[in-house]
Structure 1
């Protein structure tokens, strides 16, 4: 028999043993001289009935909250495997070219006025332009290629501060001067021989008189430019070495 069906019977049995109202019990107990025994019996029976009533009340409350019969979620059938989604393929970079290199360079210089852009190179791609941050126009140039040697720091002079970074790249950074003109420069080389260099000067060229006290771009800013993943590198057999 289900618990819900037995509750009325349990209630009936419990209430059958209940004695009359409390004043009547006291009166009868005095007459018989068993007041204490009768009180203990009544309290015990009342407690039992209260426990049953509490149980019934609890069931009623639960049923009121979840309804006569809580509807269970349907049993899941054999799980259907989720459709596999292909990983997003990275968008390939456009082929390396002087025009593409110059576009990338300009794109990475927001907030700076640019002018006088040009490109050159033989087995490498180079680009340069004037940049102005409001404190004087100055020259910025860069070169990009796939070199024919294995990059390392062993062959570099201490002045170039060469170091191997955790990702395996070789970074050289240095500050130099040509007369009164000063410049900041970085060279970043990858283990697969890709290489990029950038130079920011304090004048309108790599030589001559300065147009401002300091280069517009610091070494840290040049490193950030070199690290950008938007550069397209030419193949190792790109162009022709003209020994320039």
Structure 2
């Protein structure tokens, strides 16, 4: 079976190469229009390949004016259904390419010779295609049908060629194009074709093409296609057509909002608010901020029992959802809300003789939220973890329980972004 997607460029080339020089303006306008229709074809999830062929062919060689001018009241194509087509509402099993071929053969009038049947399944959201060669004794004529769906503006004629599309009584859009045979210098001749595409309000779409040849690109076998535009319109309007499985189009999930860029001074202000009691505060520091991806802040606190550095770090990153004791001495638990809590008590700052000299100990808490927010708090019994001065008090000013309460505060605003 001819691959219609691949034949589009060939169809454009073959049609344009036979045009006389005086028709160059038509070719140029046709190519521009073809580019528009190709973009449209790409945007539609399941626009019929045959519909694209008929539109492209009509552009290049000029469509027969089946319908009146746009300002006139337009009647349906001669011979087209004059009654509204009733679309069955009951559930109908999806059709295969073989089903489409069977329907096509059933709708062909009796007395015609039918040969060379072909079919192709469209799959989920695709199109079913089928074709036969029909002969009434006056020459073979290729007849092809494609069934599928049009998801965007299914019954809007605004993107059709001028005078090729009408809205039917039931709201369907019927597009019809006749492509005349082309000859040049009396030597080369291409087959003529009649093509229609019917798009119903429910989005189902039937496209048919009849040619004055036994196939796409085959030699001319008769003067005109066996089926006229009116006869193809009647075939397209049949209620017998089945359609492939319809693809469910899901709206893309909204993008996950990025965590805000938080001024480090705001983090310092929050730290001040969550410190329990009324200690004396001094030596405020900040680090990070902006687009660095982290905010850090600290105070020296003094409750009358000695100075103690209290430090906080806020980040947003990959979620931690289970305990992984990478620090060896840490305790860990997964809490009921899915957050992971890691804590350490009285951890020595040094692992050598300096520990005996300075005696710095630290309590720490790190809280991992399921959405990737992370907060870490440290409290030392001196001016800092590596301050290299002797400790100022026996133990850190704040216990791991107090640090956990601070970390749980709803006042924290977590930063985002990377450097």
Instruction: Tell me if structure 1 keeps the 8 A contact 2:278–2:303.
Output: yes
Instruction: Tell me if structure 2 keeps the 8 A contact 1:187–1:197.
Output: yes
* 1:168-179 equivalence runs, <5 A: 168-175=338-345, 176-178=347-349, 179=355
Instruction: Tell me if structure 2 keeps the 8 A contact 1:151–1:193.
Output: no
Q: Deviations over 1:60-93 (max 9, x none)?
A: xxxxxxxxxxxxxxxxxxxxxxxxxxxxxxxxxx
Instruction: Tell me if structure 1 keeps the 8 A contact 2:325–2:331.
Output: no
Q: Which residue of 2 aligns with 1:188?
A: 367
Instruction: Tell me if structure 1 keeps the 8 A contact 2:325–2:332.
Output: no
Aligned to 1:116, which of 283, 307, 314?
283
- Counterpart check, 1:223 vs 2:415: no
Q: What is the alpha-carbon distance in structure 1 between the residues aligned to residue 318 and residue 335 of structure 2?
A: 21
Q: Secondary structure at the match of 2:270?
A: helix
Aligned to 2:268, which of 102, 110, 122?
102
Q: Deviations over 1:159-192 (max 9, x none)?
A: 2111101111100000211211101000000010
* 1:1-244 equivalence runs, <5 A: 96-109=262-275, 110-121=277-288, 122-154=292-324, 156-175=326-345, 176-178=347-349, 179=355, 180-207=359-386, 208=388, 209-235=390-416, 237=417, 239-240=418-419
Q: Which one has a larger percent helix, Structure 1 or Structure 2?
A: 1
Could you say which structure has the greater relative contact order, defined with CA pairs below 8 angstroms and 6 or more residues apart?
A: 1
Instruction: Report the Cα offset of residue 146 of structure 1.
Output: 0.3
Instruction: Tell me if structure 2 keeps the 8 A contact 1:200–1:215.
Output: yes
Q: Which residue of 2 aligns with 1:70?
A: none
Q: What is the alpha-carbon distance in structure 1 between the residues aligned to residue 321 and residue 380 of structure 2?
A: 25
Instruction: Report the Cα offset of residue 214 of structure 1.
Output: 0.8
Gaps of 5+ in 1: 1-93
Q: What is the alpha-carbon distance in structure 2 between the residues aligned to residue 214 and residue 156 of structure 1?
A: 25
Gaps of 5+ in 2: 1-259, 350-354
Instruction: Report the Cα offset of residue 120 of structure 1.
Output: 0.4
Q: What is the alpha-carbon distance in structure 2 between the residues aligned to residue 154 and residue 201 of structure 1?
A: 24
Q: Secondary structure at the match of 2:323?
A: coil
Instruction: Report the Cα offset of residue 156 of structure 1.
Output: 3.2
TM-score by structure 2 length?
0.33
Q: What is the alpha-carbon distance in structure 2 between the residues aligned to residue 167 and residue 156 of structure 1?
A: 22
Q: What is the alpha-carbon distance in structure 2 between the residues aligned to residue 172 and residue 111 of structure 1?
A: 27
TM-score by structure 1 length?
0.56
Q: Which residue of 1 aligns with 2:116?
A: none
Q: Secondary structure at the match of 1:102?
A: helix
Instruction: Tell me if structure 2 keeps the 8 A contact 1:156–1:162.
Output: no
Q: What is the alpha-carbon distance in structure 2 between the residues aligned to residue 164 and residue 220 of structure 1?
A: 16
Corresponding pairs, count: 146
Instruction: Report the Cα offset of residue 149 of structure 1.
Output: 4.7
Instruction: Report the Cα offset of residue 215 of structure 1.
Output: 0.7
Q: Secondary structure at the match of 1:144?
A: strand
Instruction: Tell me if structure 2 keeps the 8 A contact 1:200–1:217.
Output: yes
Instruction: Report the Cα offset of residue 127 of structure 1.
Output: 0.3
